[in-house]
Structure 1
C-alpha cells in the first residue's frame, strides 16, 4: 500500500515536470507596411522573459523555449513605430507577422556622404542635410533644380542652356561636387551639371554636405557635395510608370522594369523630359541698347531622354558585383530672329559605362572598387547656312549648311577608385583609398592642337575614433598629384559631442580645386549679357585653395528637431575672368570685350543655416530653414571701376534665403490624402554688372492621393498649383533676373507600380 502511494506521488511529480518542461517557439516575419519589404536587423523581444531575436535578411525571426503562458511581444526598428502584440502559447508553436509603419523622425535617416561610411543622421560626425524620398514625393516638382531650391534654403540655381548652375552657400557650380551613389557625376566642358539626366523617380534620398570635402572627394568639393542616393530595388519583378504633365507642354516620364532573384538583378530604366518653353518678356538689352520685339525665350523648347541598364550580381554572400550603362540625348531649339540671329540649335549626347564590386571581409571589413568611363559631346545643329570666320587647312572659309551637326566639344573622363574600410575594435573605423582620374577634351577650333589631356592620382585616409560614447573625432587627409600642378595635401578634422538631446559639432577642412579644362585651355566666343565676348583660358593658372570652419548645434526629439550651423570659408588664388585688351584680330570679328582667366581674386564667405522640423497633433507637420550669407570677392573684371580690387558681393549670391513646408495627411481604408504647402523666399541677388536680380517669393500647393498601396500594387496621384500668386520676372533679357518661372501653372502626375517579392 505504501509502495503504491509512493509510486503514484512520483508519477504525479514526473507528469508535472513533463508539462512544465514542454516549451514552444514563436516565429514570424517583420516587414515595412507601405512597401512590404523585410526589415532586416529589426529587434523582436518578449519583455516578460527578456528573450529576443534579430530579424534576418529575409525578415524572419524565431524565439524558442517558451513554456505555455500568455505573452506580450514587441517588434521595433529605428525609424519605425514599435508594434506590440499579445499571444498565448498552449500546446503548439505560434506564428506572428508584423508590418511596421515609418516614424516621422528625420534623424533616423542613414547617411554616408559626410564620412564615406554609414551613420544614422543624428550620429553623423559631419553635419549632413537630407532630403528624403518622402519629401520628394510630397513636393512633386518639375525637375531636380525645382526640388532642391524649394526644399533647401542654402541651395540656389541659375539655369542655362548648358545645364544647372548650382550655388551652395555662395559658391558656384565649379566648387560643388555632384555624386550619384558616391560616384562623380561627369560634367560638361562648361563646368555645368545637367541634372535633368537624373531619374527623379529613382532617388531614395539626397544628402548635402556643405563646406570643403576635399580630403575624401578631392578637387571640385570646396563648396560642398550633393549626393543622390538611388533606390535599391529588392523585388523579384516590378514594373513602374510615373508621368507628370503641366502647362507649356511640361512633361516628365519615367519607367522602370526590375527582374531578378536573390543572385542577380536587372533594372532597366527610361526617363524623358520635355518642355515647349515660354517667353516672359519681349524686351532685350542687347549691345548697350534696349530692343523690343525680341524672339529670345526665357526657357527654350527642349527634349531629353535617358535610357539605362543596371546589373547586380551576388555570386556569394561575400561578393557583390555591379555594372551600369546609360545613354542620354538632349535637343534645345533656339529661336532665330531679333536681336540674336542664331543659325543653329544645340544637341548634347552623353554615354556612361561603369563596373564595380564590393567584397565583404570577416569582422565587417570590406573592400570596394569601381571603374567608370563617360563621354559628353556638345554639338551645333544648323537649321540654315552660316559663313563662319574660320578657315580650313587650305585657307578656305568654313561654311555650315542646314542639317549639319558640328562638334563643339567632347569631354571624355575615366575614373578608377579603390576603397577599403576596416573596423578596428569598437572605437575606430579606418578608411583608405586611391582615386585616379583621366580627362581628355576634344574641341576643334577652340583648342590648340584640337585636344588637351589632364590626369590626377590621389591617396586618402580617414579614421573615425569614438573616444567615448559621447565624443567622436574624425580626421582625414588626402595627398594628390595632378599633371599640371605640384603635389597637394588636404587635411580635415571633425568632432562631435553628445549631451542629452543635443549634438555639438565642429569642423575644419582644407579645400583644393584644380582649374577646369576650360579655364586652362579653352578659347571661344559668345554673346553673354548683351555683349559679344572672347574668352581665353590660361595654362599657367594655379590651383585654388580654401580653409573652411564650421560649428553646429543640433537638438533632437521624436517630434521636434532643430539645427543651427555657423560657417566661414576663405579661398585663395580664386580663378576669375579678367577684362583684358582686345586684340586686332578679335576686333575684326566684332568682339566687344575680351575675358581672360587669371589667379587674382580672393574670396570669403560668412553665414548661418537654421533648419527645423515639428510634428504637431492631428497629423500636421511644419518644417523649413533659413540661410544668411555674406559672400564677397575682389572685383577684377574692370580696372576702371571704382571698386576694382575691392571686396564686392560675389555674383549670384543673396543674403537671405528661406523655405517653409506645411504638411498634413490622413489615411482611410484604401485611400491616403496628403496636402503640402511649400514656400521659398530669396532676397536681392547681387551681380557686379548688368543689374541685381529682384527679391521674390514663390509658393506652391501639392495634393497627394494614395489610392492603392499593398504588397503587389501601388497607385498614387499628385495634383497641384505651382507659383500660386503668379509672380513673373519680366526683366529684359541681357539683364539679370530673379526667376525663370512662367507664373501660375497647374500640373498633375500619376505613378503606378506592380511588384512581386519572393526572396
Structure 2
C-alpha cells in the first residue's frame, strides 16, 4: 500500500515526465498568466507584470508593496473552484478556520468560517476595492475575541458566487494601506467580471459525491452602435447532501447528519464606456442559501447506544454514582446493579467533563436545524477620469444582508435540563436502582441517533422538525465614496473620502404576543485618506500615506447609546517602498500604524475582570520582502512581517480579584506577532510549473496588568502564549504543481501541516491533497474532474475547547465531474 508521501511523489513524477521543450519566459508568481483579461483589454504575457514583478489588475495601482498573489479567471476556469475558500487556499500563508460543515453559526466565532493570513485574522474583504463588512455588525459576539481572534465578520464564501469573479487579489500584510488601518493580516480583493466586445456565454454542469451538484450559467457582451455598453449576467446553484468525514479516533468514515445545503446566486453588471477616461458601472449581487446546522462532527468512538446513554444522561440529569463511593465517580448506566440504590450527581457538560459530549449535537442535525442567509448588494460607480492607471470616481453603495438560524433539539421529553432533574428527583427522592434508572432514561431521554426509527418517533413526539425561525438579523449599510487621483511629475497622488452609515437589526418573535419586535444599533464612519506614490527612479517607488478615521458611538434604537461607548477617531500613517536592485532582485519594506476600534458584537466595552473600559486596538506593523530571479524560469521570494500591538484585545478566563472567581472577560494586552514565508516558483518547461512554499507564524502575548488564567482552559502554567500558538499548526508547507499541453490541463495542490499540538489537534501532522483535470474536447466544450482530499485525510483546521479535539473534522475525500460549454 502506498503511503501519502508516496502518492504525492508518484503524481509529481507522472506530471514531470510528460514535459516538453524549453522556451525562455519569466517565471510566474501567479498561475496561468499567459494571457488574461484586464478590463476589456486582453493582456499579453509580457505585460502581466509591472517593473517590480507584481501582477497588474484593475486595482493594482493601490498597492504600495507587499507579497501579492492574483488568481485569474483562467485559473478559476481550469481548476473549477466552486467557492472562494477553495480558490485561495493555495496561497502561501493563507489558512482557514472551518467548523467542518458549510454554513457556520451566526454570531459564534468557533462555529463560523474564518480566514487568516500569516496567522492574523485582521483580514479585510473587498469587492472591487470596497469593504464589505458592516461597522455596526453583531456577527461575532463576545466569543469573537476569544484567544486573540479578530475575525473579519464576513463569511468569505457568502460574498458572491464564483461565476461573478474575474480575479482575486490576496495581499499579505498592510501593503495596501488604502484599504484601512486595521488590515494587518492583509487584504482579499474580489474583482468582478465585465462584459467584453463579443457576445458570449457558458453553461457549467457538474455532479459528484454526497449528491453534490453544481449549475452555473453566464452571458455577456456589448450593445449600442459603438459597442460602448457592456453587460455581464450570471446565475448559479450549488447543493450537497450530508457531508462525510474521516474520523481520527477510529480511522473510519462517518456521516455528518444534517449538513446538507443549497445556495443560489445571481449577478448583473452593466458598464457604459463614455470614452477612454470615463465610465459608469452598475453592479447588483444577490446570494442566498440554506445550510444545515449540525454544529460539530461526532466522535465515532462514542457513537454507539451504550455511550450515548451515558453521555446524554450525564448531560441532562447528572452523573449516577454509588453513595458508598466517596469520590462520587459517575458510573456507566449499563453497569448499574439492579439491587443497589444510586444517587444523582451534578450535570456534566463539555467534552472535558463528559467525553463525547458534542455527539449530542447530532440531534440538532437530525431535527433539521439550519442557518440561512440572503444578501442583496448594489454598487454604482461613475469614473470621471483615468490617469496613469489610476481612477478618479464617485461611488454609491448599498448592502442588505439577512441572516438567521433555527437550532432545534430536545434531550428530555418534557422540557429542558432543569425540568428533567426536577422530575427525576420527584420520581426517585431516595435514589433509584439500576433497572429504574435505565427504564426512566429509555422513556424520557432522546434515543441514540443511530436508531433511525426510534429517532423519527422521538422527533414527532417532541414537536417535529425545525420550523420557521423565531429571530433573524439584518445588517444594512450604505455610503458614498469620492476618490480623486492625479499624476504630478513623479508623484501619483490619490485622495479619498468615504462616508458610511451602518445598522445592525435584531428581529425577534415574542412568545407571549406572537408579534415581531425589532431594534437596531447604528454607527457612522468618516474616513479620509491621501497617498503619494513617488517614482524616485524607474526602479524605486516611495509611498507615504495618511489616514483619518472617525467612528461615531453606537446608537441603540431603544436606549440611544450602547453603554460605555463613545466616538473614536485616529490619525494613522503608512510608509512603503519598493526597490529593484537590478533586473533580477527586488525588495519591499513598509511600516503601518494600526488602529482598530472596539466593535459592537466583537467585544464587551467593559473589562469585567478589572472594571476598566477597554481601549481601541493600536499598534505598528512592519513588513519586508525580497525576491530573486535566478533564471527566466525560477524565482525565490521571502516575506516577513512583525506586528507589535500596544493595545490588543483577547477574551480570556481571568481571575477577578474582587470576587476570587474566574470570569471570561475581554482584556487589553500587548501582542507581538511574527510570520515568515518563503516561496519558490519554477517553470520546468512550457508545460510544467511548480510553486512550493513554507510558512511559519508565532504570537507572544503579555498582559498590561497581571492576570491569572483559568486552569480549566489547559494553559501551561498560565502561559497564554502556549495556548495561542498551539491553536494552529506550527509549520505549513504547500506545493502547487500543474501541467498543460494543448487542451489538457491538470493540477495538484498539496498542503502539509506539521508541528500540530496535542492540545488542539488529533494528529501532529496532516497532508491534504487536491487534484483536478480539465480537457478541451473542442474550443467550446470541455470536460473536467475534481477530487478533494485525495487520500481521505482525517484533519481539522479549528479547535473548540468545549467540544474537544476532532469536533471540527473537515470533509473526507470527494469528487466532482462536469462539463462546460461556451456559446
TM-score between the two structures when normalised by the length of structure 2: 0.66
CA apart distance, 1:699 = 1.5
Equivalent residue for 2:174, pick from 207, 212, 220: 212
Kindly report which structure 2 residues correspond to 1:52-91, keeping only aligned pairs within 5 A, or say none.
79-80=45-46
Equivalent residue for 2:494, pick from 428, 431, 449: 431
Equivalent residue for 1:491, pick from 573, 594, 598: 573
Kindly report which structure 2 residues correspond to 1:450-599, keeping only aligned pairs within 5 A, or say none.
450-483=519-552, 484-500=566-582, 501-520=584-603, 540-556=613-629, 557-579=631-653, 595-596=664-665, 598-599=666-667
Moved more, 201-210 or 562-571: 201-210
How far apart, in 2, do the equivalents of 1:144 and 1:549 lie? 28
Secondary structure at the aligned position of 1:725 is classed as coil
The answer to whether the 8 A contact 1:506-1:550 is kept is: yes
Equivalent residue for 1:675, pick from 710, 721, 746: 746
Q: 1:384 to 1:462 in 2, by over 3 A?
A: same
Kindly report which structure 2 residues correspond to 1:125-164, keeping only aligned pairs within 5 A, or say none.
125-149=65-89, 151-160=90-99, 161-162=104-105, 163-164=112-113
**Match of residue 339 from structure 1:** 360
How far apart, in 1, do the equivalents of 2:751 and 2:400 lie? 36
Moved more, 503-512 or 224-233: 224-233
How far apart, in 2, do the equivalents of 1:455 and 1:228 lie? 25
Secondary structure at the aligned position of 2:88 is classed as helix
Secondary structure at the aligned position of 2:76 is classed as helix
Kindly report which structure 2 residues correspond to 1:628-707, keeping only aligned pairs within 5 A, or say none.
628-634=696-702, 638-640=709-711, 643-644=717-718, 646-648=720-722, 649-650=724-725, 652-667=727-742, 672-685=743-756, 694-707=764-777
The answer to whether the 8 A contact 2:387-2:486 is kept is: no
Secondary structure at the aligned position of 2:155 is classed as coil
Q: 1:363 to 1:453 in 2, by over 3 A?
A: closer
Moved more, 736-745 or 695-704: 736-745
Q: 1:739 to 1:153 in 2, by over 3 A?
A: farther
The answer to whether the 8 A contact 2:626-2:639 is kept is: yes
How far apart, in 2, do the equivalents of 1:694 and 1:718 lie? 34
- 1:422 paired with 2:387, answer no
How far apart, in 2, do the equivalents of 1:661 and 1:324 lie? 34
RMSD: 4.2
How far apart, in 2, do the equivalents of 1:106 and 1:460 lie? 24
The answer to whether the 8 A contact 1:79-1:108 is kept is: no
How far apart, in 2, do the equivalents of 1:275 and 1:742 lie? 12
The answer to whether the 8 A contact 1:544-1:571 is kept is: yes
Q: Return 5+ residue gaps in structure 1 as ranges.
A: 1-32, 41-56, 60-76, 82-101, 118-123, 285-289, 390-398, 524-534, 583-591, 755-759
CA apart distance, 1:403 = 3.2
Higher helix fraction (1 or 2): 2
Moved more, 159-168 or 297-306: 297-306
How far apart, in 1, do the equivalents of 2:404 and 2:222 lie? 39
**Match of residue 74 from structure 1:** none
- 1:726 paired with 2:792, answer yes
The answer to whether the 8 A contact 2:491-2:533 is kept is: yes
Q: 1:297 to 1:540 in 2, by over 3 A?
A: farther
Secondary structure at the aligned position of 2:85 is classed as helix
- 1:607 paired with 2:675, answer yes
CA apart distance, 1:721 = 2.9
**Match of residue 247 from structure 1:** 209
CA offset digits 1:569-616 (Å, max 9, x no partner):
12232222233699xxxxxxxxx99644x2323322222111122112
**Match of residue 278 from structure 2:** 319
Q: Return 5+ residue gaps in structure 2 as ranges.
A: 1-31, 106-111, 141-152, 296-311, 313-358, 418-462, 510-516, 553-565
How far apart, in 2, do the equivalents of 1:197 and 1:517 lie? 21
Kindly report which structure 2 residues correspond to 1:100-139, keeping only aligned pairs within 5 A, or say none.
107=53, 109-111=55-57, 116=62, 125-139=65-79
How far apart, in 2, do the equivalents of 1:683 and 1:278 lie? 26
Secondary structure at the aligned position of 1:216 is classed as helix
CA apart distance, 1:177 = 0.3
The answer to whether the 8 A contact 1:186-1:374 is kept is: no
Moved more, 486-495 or 244-253: 244-253
How far apart, in 1, do the equivalents of 2:618 and 2:236 lie? 38
Secondary structure at the aligned position of 2:470 is classed as strand
Secondary structure at the aligned position of 2:86 is classed as helix
How far apart, in 1, do the equivalents of 2:528 and 2:269 lie? 29
The answer to whether the 8 A contact 1:364-1:422 is kept is: no
**Match of residue 401 from structure 2:** 376
How far apart, in 1, do the equivalents of 2:179 and 2:814 lie? 40
Secondary structure at the aligned position of 1:515 is classed as coil
The answer to whether the 8 A contact 2:248-2:794 is kept is: no
CA apart distance, 1:449 = 8.6
**Match of residue 329 from structure 2:** none
How far apart, in 2, do the equivalents of 1:522 and 1:252 lie? 44
**Match of residue 124 from structure 2:** 177
Aligned residues: 611
Equivalent residue for 1:625, pick from 693, 707, 710: 693
How far apart, in 2, do the equivalents of 1:463 and 1:39 lie? 24
CA offset digits 1:158-210 (Å, max 9, x no partner):
124145210111112xx100112211233672324242443223433321112
Kindly report which structure 2 residues correspond to 1:376-415, keeping only aligned pairs within 5 A, or say none.
376-381=401-406, 403-415=467-479
Kindly report which structure 2 residues correspond to 1:346-365, keeping only aligned pairs within 5 A, or say none.
346-360=371-385
Q: 1:692 to 1:599 in 2, by over 3 A?
A: farther
How far apart, in 2, do the equivalents of 1:300 and 1:106 lie? 46
**Match of residue 6 from structure 1:** none
Choose 1 or 2 for highest CA Rg.
1
CA offset digits 1:378-398 (Å, max 9, x no partner):
223477899899xxxxxxxxx
CA apart distance, 1:224 = 0.8
Kindly report which structure 2 residues correspond to 1:228-307, keeping only aligned pairs within 5 A, or say none.
228-261=190-223, 262-280=227-245, 297=256, 300-307=259-266
How far apart, in 2, do the equivalents of 1:214 and 1:544 lie? 19
**Match of residue 73 from structure 1:** none
Q: 1:564 to 1:458 in 2, by over 3 A?
A: same
Q: 1:494 to 1:666 in 2, by over 3 A?
A: same
- 1:745 paired with 2:692, answer no
Secondary structure at the aligned position of 1:195 is classed as helix
CA offset digits 1:203-225 (Å, max 9, x no partner):
33321112235841225412111
CA offset digits 1:129-179 (Å, max 9, x no partner):
223334334433453212222x1120111124145210111112xx10011
CA offset digits 1:660-715 (Å, max 9, x no partner):
12222212xxxx1122222111124459x666764211123322202222xxxx22
CA apart distance, 1:248 = 1.2
How far apart, in 2, do the equivalents of 1:619 and 1:738 lie? 42
CA offset digits 1:631-660 (Å, max 9, x no partner):
233587934455436533346432211111
How far apart, in 1, do the equivalents of 2:569 and 2:37 lie? 48
Equivalent residue for 1:221, pick from 155, 170, 183: 183
The answer to whether the 8 A contact 1:382-1:404 is kept is: no
**Match of residue 71 from structure 1:** none
Q: 1:692 to 1:436 in 2, by over 3 A?
A: farther
How far apart, in 1, do the equivalents of 2:127 and 2:389 lie? 24
